[in-house]
Structure 1
Amino acid sequence: MSPSSILFSPPFVVVDGVINIRTIGGYKIDNSLLVTPGLIFRSGEVSGITEAGKQQLLALGIRRIFDMRSNLEINSYKTASPDIPGVEFVHVPIGKEVTWDAGSFERRVKHYQENELEAFVKYAQITLEIGASALETIFRHFLERPKEPCLFHCTAGKDRTGLVAALILMLLGVDDADITKDYTLTTVGLEPAREKLAARLQNIPVFRDNQQGALNMGSSKEASMTAILAMIRQEYGSAAGYLTACTRLQAKDLDAIRDNLLNRA
């Protein structure tokens, strides 16, 4: 199947002006349970949504959108959340809220150049550490509003978004192979926006001067997610272990979330 065909096939959905948007439901667990489709959506930034896209979004039942971008990202790229009547935007920033330190950012890109896998694992763990409050807010939606479809996103819908999707699927007992497949779909999902995203990066000297590091940083490979899942198990035991250790969610809450998001196949 060609990349363009994939973009118009499940799990991708069409919302005009929104990049890399798809549902993360439909996965089977032990041939008896199914992650309820049509409840959880993931994407890149939604600031470019068109009027037609707004109607498509509403038709999916989405009434709540979690934006994980920092204010620095939103202001730098002038990509504030749009006004969509009937949709609540919840800002749950994960990232720097101060001017980038050019030196530390250069070291980060160089890390991706020299050891791509190690860099992905390192920054995923940092996201888990600094983003616990934001992640708790998203997971509480599944606890408190289980029948209300929601969408969560960052800028490209790749790293922070991919990590949240992985935690959800991991908590529900989805196979690692399906979790990594969900992550790698971002390679196709970003294709229509690749030139636009590349143009943004060209305005940042460190990316212009280290194109290989930038390419590695922008990738979404199976090996990266496989290593991230291994890190979660090593550091926290499981997705549930992370959530109970780093947020106020309790084991009984996670059991309720599983019940809310799983159906008999």
Structure 2
Amino acid sequence: MVSVLGALDADLVQRILNSPPFHSVDGVINFRDLGSSSGAITPGILFRSGELTRLSQRGKDELKALGVATVFDLRSQSEITKYSSATPEIDGVRFVHVPVSDKDEYDPMALAARVTRFETDEKEAFATLYSNILESGARAYETILKHIRDKPGEACLVHCTAGKDRTGMFAAIVQLLLGATDDAVIQDYYLTTFGLQPALPHLVARFQREALYQKNKAGFEIMASAKKETMHASLEMIRTKYGGAEAYIKQCTTLTDADIAQIRKNLAADPVAKY
């Protein structure tokens, strides 16, 4: 991971992090507005990020200034406990725990344990991982989508540990549902490459006591990557396995055509967009 950290020009990283869709929320990594990313979603309604564990008072104020009223946490409880990474309370903000899985299978250490799959066929391994996340995370994603359906105009934040895999698949489904182009979805995913840069030293410090990290540092680099071709393969997987984002929602959740229409109405940047 250290080589990943050093691979990007520091000035370039800073320019990107200081520009939309990124927002500065002190103590939070990879925080950005999905509306500014895709062009299909109204800005200021749906945000994504990494964990809020290190959120400062200034960060709390910045989060509230963005209008965020509800925060959805996709991490497992055992993951939160293991890393002592509970989210701090914020007056006026509701926190909803919606784990993609009750197991540890999607926390960073568990992902790294499967790194041999990535070394032989990285794109296919990520596509398989993301397919599994879509299956196990359907109930969590449904909860968030119902909130969007029922709370028009109310800003919410969706996060996991790094804001890359579990959050990234939710972001992809929502953007596709709202008619975003593949290029827009892929670019949004790729931005995590920059969003994670400030956090890499912290993540290394967290994991370097783990024997798995010592034995397979290269695996952590793969785990931290957010390559465009990875999301391209994942979009192909969504269409091949489900028939698209809308079909995924219909197959894997209880949401109806009317629900989907309301979600689109509440999020759409273009009120007359055709889907």
TM-score (norm 1): 0.92
Matched, 1:225 2:231: yes
Which amino acid letter does the alignment assign opposite residue 241 of structure 2?
E
The aligned residue for residue 157 of structure 2 is 151
The aligned residue for residue 69 of structure 1 is 75
Matched, 1:195 2:195: no
The aligned residue for residue 82 of structure 1 is 88
Is the contact between residue 38 and residue 184 of structure 2 (CA under 8 Å) also seen in structure 1? no
Is the contact between residue 71 and residue 94 of structure 2 (CA under 8 Å) also seen in structure 1? yes
State how far apart, in whole Å, the 1-side matches of 2:149 and 2:161 are. Answer: 25
Secondary structure, aligned partner of 1:25: helix
Matched, 1:248 2:254: yes
Among 4, 8, 13, the alignment partner of 1:3 is 13
Among 22, 31, 50, the alignment partner of 1:21 is 31
Report how far residue 198 of structure 1 moved: 1.7
State how far apart, in whole Å, the 1-side matches of 2:189 and 2:105 are. Answer: 29
State how far apart, in whole Å, the 1-side matches of 2:229 and 2:102 are. Answer: 27
Matched, 1:171 2:181: no
Which amino acid letter does the alignment assign opposite residue 16 of structure 1?
D
State how far apart, in whole Å, the 2-side matches of 1:112 and 1:56 are. Answer: 37
Report how far residue 9 of structure 1 moved: 0.9
Which sits farther off after the overlay, 254-263 or 225-234?
254-263
Secondary structure, aligned partner of 1:12: coil
Q: How many residues align?
A: 258
Which amino acid letter does the alignment assign opposite residue 15 of structure 2?
S
Matched, 1:182 2:188: yes
Inter-CA distance 10–259: structure 2 relative to 1 (3 Å threshold): same
The aligned residue for residue 128 of structure 2 is 122
State how far apart, in whole Å, the 1-side matches of 2:31 and 2:104 are. Answer: 29
Inter-CA distance 27–73: structure 2 relative to 1 (3 Å threshold): closer
Among 244, 247, 263, the alignment partner of 1:257 is 263
Identical-residue share of aligned pairs (%): 45
State how far apart, in whole Å, the 2-side matches of 1:27 and 1:105 are. Answer: 26
Is the contact between residue 112 and residue 219 of structure 2 (CA under 8 Å) also seen in structure 1? no
State how far apart, in whole Å, the 1-side matches of 2:104 and 2:216 are. Answer: 23
Report how far residue 116 of structure 1 moved: 1.2
Return 5+ residue gaps in structure 1 as ranges: none
Report how far residue 73 of structure 1 moved: 1.1
Secondary structure, aligned partner of 2:191: helix
State how far apart, in whole Å, the 2-side matches of 1:25 and 1:192 are. Answer: 23
The aligned residue for residue 113 of structure 1 is 119
Secondary structure, aligned partner of 1:13: coil
Secondary structure, aligned partner of 1:263: coil
Inter-CA distance 250–195: structure 2 relative to 1 (3 Å threshold): same
Return 5+ residue gaps in structure 2 as ranges: 1-10
The aligned residue for residue 8 of structure 2 is none
Describe the superposition over 1:8-58 as per-residue Cα deviations: whole angstroms up to 9, x where unpaired: 1110001111111000104667xxxx4200100000000111011111100
TM-score (norm 2): 0.89
Matched, 1:48 2:54: yes
The aligned residue for residue 4 of structure 2 is none
Is the contact between residue 113 and residue 212 of structure 2 (CA under 8 Å) also seen in structure 1? no
Which amino acid letter does the alignment assign opposite residue 112 of structure 1?
F
Inter-CA distance 106–196: structure 2 relative to 1 (3 Å threshold): closer
Q: Which runs of 4+ in 1 moved over 4 A?
A: 104-107
